[in-house]
Amino acid sequence: MTTSALHGRRGAPPSFLLGVLLSKANAGTWVKGTSTLPKVFDQPNGSKLELLWKDKQPVGPRKHPSLFSESIGVLMATSRRFNWTKNWELQDVGHKQWLWDNIKAISERNKANRAKQIAKHAAGRISFPQFEEIMSKEHGAPLSLGDLFVRTHTSSKTHDALDDQSRDYIDKMNHLAGRDEHGAQLPLTNEIYREVMPPERHGRVRLRGRGVTPTSYFGSRLSSDNRVNDLENQVVEMKRVAEEKEEERQREIEEMRRQAQDKDEQRQLEMDEMKRQFDA
Distance of CA 232 to CAs 42, 43, 225, Å?
A: 61, 60, 10
Question: Residue 152: what pLDDT?
Answer: 78
Question: Residue 6: what pLDDT?
Answer: 55
Say if residue 212's pLDDT is above 70: no
pLDDT in tens, 126-151: 666 666 676 777 767 777 778 888 88
Specify the length of the chain in residues: 280
* Listed residue (120, 119, 144, 130) closest to 195, CA to CA: 144
**Residue 119: pLDDT band with limits 50, 70, 90:** low
- Determine whether 6 is exposed, middle or buried from the number of CB atoms within 10 Å of its CB (0-12, 13-18, 19+): buried
- Determine whether 16 is exposed, middle or buried from the number of CB atoms within 10 Å of its CB (0-12, 13-18, 19+): buried
* Listed residue (60, 216, 218) closest to 138, CA to CA: 60
Q: Cα 248 to the chain's mean position, in Å? A: 38
Q: Print burial letters for 253-280: b (CB count within 10 Å at least 16), e (below 16).
A: eeeeeeeeeeeeeeeeeeeeeeeeeeee
In DSSP terms, 4 is beta-bridged to 51
Could you count the other beta carbons within 10 Å of the beta carbon of residue 124? 9
Domain boundaries, the chain: 2-116, 128-222, 230-280
**Mean pLDDT confidence for 208-236:** 61
Amino acid at 52: L
**What's the whole-model pTM score?**
0.36
**Residue 17: pLDDT band with limits 50, 70, 90:** very low
Amino acid at 7: H
**Mean pLDDT confidence for 224-237:** 69
**Residue 10: pLDDT band with limits 50, 70, 90:** very low
pLDDT in tens, 59-74: 766 667 777 776 665 4
* Listed residue (54, 71, 43) closest to 3, CA to CA: 54
In terms of pLDDT, which residue wins out, 271 or 212? Answer: 271
Mean pLDDT (the chain, rounded):
69
In terms of pLDDT, which residue wins out, 219 or 140? Answer: 140
* C-alpha distance across the termini of the chain, in Å: 105
Say if residue 242's pLDDT is above 70: yes
In terms of pLDDT, which residue wins out, 48 or 4? Answer: 48
Say if residue 240's pLDDT is above 60: yes
**Residue 9: pLDDT band with limits 50, 70, 90:** very low
Say if residue 78's pLDDT is above 50: no
**Residue 23: pLDDT band with limits 50, 70, 90:** very low
